[in-house]
Amino acid sequence: TINFRALGLFGETVFSEYLIFKYVTFQGYSHFREAVFKKGLNLEYANIEKEMNFFGIKELDEKTSIANTNQETYRIVKYQLQKVGNIIDSNKYHALELEKKRQKVCDKSCKDCRFLADCIVLNIHKISSNYSTNWILSLFWIFVVGLIFNICVTNEFFSMNIFKYISLLTSKEDFSSNYLLFVLNKVILGYLYYQFVTAIRKDTRK
């Protein structure tokens, strides 16, 4: 139970063990710039009153650290990076926060069906764009959807018609007047294009 009343400096420090700030209060500014977290970080029970500098931190997104670091800690790191305008790095920790949430929700869904819908949504979000951080993944699934609908409608594995089925502008007639296929195609593509645009925007916005 330590109370850091003024500036807490941990910059460029290599933490070889799992670092836990339990019941610790940071009343002043804290500095973790370029710190290395070999086995994870825990800020879940810390009281943070002012900004924390997490610029350039390392290995908190590595496998060992991810296993030990909880959702709340990733949320705090994300929020602190957002406060100083470091959007690109904050997006990475936002994805890790959601991954921790997905694991927790899906574990609960095995015992309680009320969490099943949330588990499905989070899994789709992960698979489609890695939580809106990977636009290439979204683009890949757009072409996969076009390929699948091309096979369903034309019975051809690959043809130039595939571009009709990755477009939001095609009409019901392009689906042999099958309204169900038409609606399904537009809903799936609408979601994937949204993920595609969001993923690009997260790395390019001011």
pLDDT of residue 155: 86
**Helices first, then strands: H and E counts in the chain:** 6, 10
SS3 assignment for 2-24: CEECCCEECCCCEECCCEECCCC
Q: What is the pTM of this model?
A: 0.85
- Across the chain, which distance is largest between two alpha carbons, in Å? 70
> What is the bridge-based pairing of β-strands 52-53 and 30-31?
parallel
**Can you give the pLDDT of all 206 residues of the chain as single tens digits?**
789 998 899 999 999 999 999 999 999 999 999 999 999 999 999 999 999 999 999 999 999 999 999 999 999 999 999 988 888 889 999 999 999 999 999 999 988 888 999 999 999 999 999 999 999 999 999 999 999 999 998 888 877 788 889 999 888 888 888 899 999 999 999 999 999 999 988 866 65
Residues with Cβ < 8 Å from 100, sequence gap 6 or more? 69, 70, 71, 74
